[in-house]
Chain A
Amino acid sequence: MKRRTALKFIGFGAAVALRPEMSIAATSSPVLRFLRPPGALTENEFLQRCIHCGQCGEACPNRCINFFDLENGIASSDTPYIIPREKACILCMKCGEVCPTGAIQKVAATMADIISKVHMGRAVVDRQLCLSWQGKTCGVCYRACKLPDVAIRVGMLEQPHVLDHCVGCGLCERSCIQIPQAIRIVPDVSA
């Protein structure tokens, strides 16, 4: 190979590799979405912004923010996530306040801001497991919700219906009295 050709290859390769949307993280793996703290950017943007400092976890008054180890690869190690069944987000919005890079965006702790800017995921009800849908009046998820009648409403026999404004904080999943839980948060992939 001539030197000029080789240089062209190197230059082209570098140019391709250095574009963020062409990065290995963006192309080689499907977008996995974990339940990130409230106000987090979309997964790839989040990984580009997050500096793994752990301040979000340190600010969380509910200690619901956990940190990945190497299980999802080195890029997502030491990044925050939430297991709502263990401890759910209480939407206090302190993590966004403390985040230095804006990987978790600053969102005011008001209902309007939370509904419009927080996209953690969405609750999904398993009607086969849900006590209310099986005829035993329960309604615990509705009572646990921070945004009742906005994110979730109950019908006949306290049967839960998740509405479009659900932000995915996971308080319903945390409080569900069924084992395994009949309501789960599906992390938001599209946002």
Chain B
Amino acid sequence: MNGDNIKPFFLWKHLNKLRWLSLISIFTVLIYLPYAHLYQTYESAHAYDLLADSEKFIYDTMETITSPFIDDPIEDLDAIKGNTWSGTFFGFKLSDPLAVISQIFSGMTIYTAFLLTAALPVLLTFVFGRFFCGWICPATFLYELNTNLAAGLRRAGLKTGNRRFDRRAKYLVLTIGLILSAISGSVLAANIYPPAIIGREIYYAIALGGFGTGAVFFVATLMFDLLVARRGFCRYLCPGGALYSILGRFRLVRIQRVVENCNDCAKCNAICEFGLDPLRDDFGQECNNCSACIAICPTDALTFKIRMTDSHFQGPGHLGRQYSKAAR
């Protein structure tokens, strides 16, 4: 056997589980943060006895959760604030590159302190590509659950949408969005960018008592994904995904096909959330290194490699050729 010495590192197969853990924990943190803020406001009001029963419950729960780690909730819980659009993490501010770009266009000035908050995400994108979309984005968590729901509906005999459009549409959305931000003088991307919407809307729902219009928009994108195109918003419309794709075009860490191990079963193509074509070595700039294809590959034919460009189509998998030889 030729392929035995090029087995990929065994942990790559389990990376997808780690990714789900990451998505779930980030979503949990987004739900935890508004409650932490409520706890802070109750604490700084010094009026535990005046709280309603539901508020007392929040206070007690948050006290139980946080008391092992902090002394003074009013000051110490300020360490983590915000959401995945823009947040503060132990005094270190992080922002989405899309926020920075839109802000530059809407204000027509470059504000250095804000520019630097996107430095780390941009650097990570240069190395790992569009990894934000697969590993961090809180909308991805819901969108992937939505994809699973669609699969369940199909199994139950209902029809779900699986149309395909031109993937370049999202670059058009990004361009038009930036031009409109410049014309209107405000950051419009925040209104249609799901990670920004989700962070805000969870806060509104928990701390301010109700969802806003953003939640309606997000449900509309969920419906679009379910009824028109699988994962359609991320694939065809998301401006942030477009920006990350451009930044991650020459990423260093890439998923590549090991042609010696491949048996052309095309499970990778079926599982790929972004509709890419791993089977024909067509990953392109839009692969988000989510490693779902590695996890599902039955013959360990996909692995991470460090290189600047994708390999060209390497031909049909060698394992498939061996099968056909054996059949003959």
Q: State whether the Cβ of A137 lies closer than 8 Å to any Cβ in chain B.
A: no
Task: List CB contacts (< 8 Å) of A61-97 with chain B.
Answer: 61-63, 66-67, 69-70, 74-78, 94
Beta-carbon contact of B187 and A61 below 8 Å: no
Q: Provided the pairs A51-B86, A61-B74 are in contact, do residues A74 and B188 lie with their beta carbons within 8 angstroms?
A: yes
Q: Closest residue of chain B to A68, judged by CB?
A: B212
Shortest C-beta distance, B123 to chain A (Å), equals: 18
Among A66, A75, A100, point to the contact of B184 (Cβ < 8 A): A75
The interface of chain B, by Cβ under 8 A from chain A, is: 33-34, 37-38, 40-41, 44, 74, 78, 81-83, 85-88, 93, 95, 99, 102-103, 106-109, 111, 113-114, 117, 182-188, 190-191, 196, 199-200, 203-204, 207-208, 212-214
Q: Cβ of B196: which chain A residues have Cβ within 8 Å of it?
A: 51-53
**Beyond known contacts A51-B102, A101-B114: 20 more, CB 8 A cutoff:** A17-B182, A44-B185, A47-B106, A48-B187, A51-B86, A51-B187, A52-B85, A53-B95, A54-B83, A58-B81, A59-B81, A62-B41, A63-B207, A67-B212, A69-B212, A77-B191, A77-B212, A78-B190, A98-B82, A100-B114
Task: Please count the residue pairs between chain A and chain B whose beta carbons lie under 8 angstroms apart in the complex.
Answer: 143
Closest to A79 in B: B186
Q: Chain B: which residue is nearest A90 at the CB level?
A: B44
**Cα distance A107–B78 in the bound complex, in angstroms:** 17
Known A50-B186, A54-B203; judge A20-B83 contact (CB<8 A).
no
Asked if A61 meets B41 with Cβ closer than 8 Å, knowing A53-B83, A53-B199, the reply is yes
The residue that A76 contacts in the complex, of B44, B186, B214, with Cβ under 8 A, is B186
Cβ-defined contact, A58 with B113, below 8 A: no
Q: How far is the CB of A42 from chain B (nearest CB, A)?
A: 12
Distance in Å from the Cβ of A185 to the closest Cβ of chain B?
21
Q: Is the CB of B186 within 8 A of A47?
A: yes
Within the assembled complex, what's the spacing in Å between the Cα atoms of A62 and B38?
10
**What distance in Å separates the Cβ of A171 from its nearest Cβ neighbour in chain B?**
15
Task: Assess the B183–A18 pair: CB atoms within 8 A.
Answer: yes
14 contacts between A and B (CB under 8 A): A20-B109, A23-B182, A47-B106, A48-B185, A51-B103, A53-B83, A57-B203, A60-B41, A61-B40, A62-B41, A63-B37, A74-B186, A75-B188, A98-B81
The verdict on A10 contacting chain B, using a C-beta distance below 8 Å, is no
| B326: min CB distance to chain A, Å | 59
Q: Whose C-beta in chain B lies nearest to the C-beta of A52?
A: B190
Residues 92 to 134 of chain A near chain B (Cβ within 8 Å): 94, 98, 100-102
Shortest distance between the CB of B261 and any CB in chain A (Å): 45
Q: How far is the CB of B243 from chain A (nearest CB, A)?
A: 14
Closest to A17 in B: B183
User: CA A25 – CA B183 in complex, angstroms?
Assistant: 8
Residue from A24, A49, A54, A77 within 8 A of B199 (CB atoms): A54
C-alpha gap A44/B109 in the complex (Å): 13
**Residues on the B chain within 8 Å of A77, using CB:** 191, 212-213
Seen from chain A, the residues whose Cβ lies within 8 Å of a Cβ on chain B are 17-20, 23-26, 44-45, 47-55, 57-63, 66-67, 69-70, 74-78, 94, 98, 100-102
How far, in whole Å, are A62 and B34 apart by their CA atoms in the complex? Answer: 14
Distance in angstroms between the alpha carbons of A100 and B86 in the assembled complex: 7
- Distance in Å: Cβ of A48 to nearest Cβ of chain B: 4
B113–chain A nearest beta-carbon distance, Å? 7
A23 CA to B183 CA in the complex, in Å?
Answer: 5
User: Which one of B95, B113, B182, B188 has the highest number of Cβ atoms from chain A below 10 Å of its Cβ?
Assistant: B182
- Minimum distance in angstroms from A49 CB to a CB of chain B: 6
B108 and A20 contacting across the interface, CB-CB below 8 Å: yes
Q: Is the CB of B88 within 8 A of A55?
A: yes
Which residue of A17, A19, A53, A66 is within 8 Å of B86 (Cβ)? A53
Contact of B107 with A48 in the complex, beta carbons under 8 Å? yes
Across the interface, do A53 and B85 meet the contact criterion of CB distance under 8 Å?
yes
Q: Tell me, in angstroms, the Cα distance from A60 to B213 when the chains sit together.
A: 23
Q: A38: shortest Cβ distance to chain B, in Å?
A: 17
Hey, which chain A residues are within 8 Å of B113, CB to CB? Answer: 102
- How far apart sit A20 and B108, CA to CA, in the bound complex (Å)? 7
Which residues on the A side are within 8 Å of B83 (C-beta)?
53-54
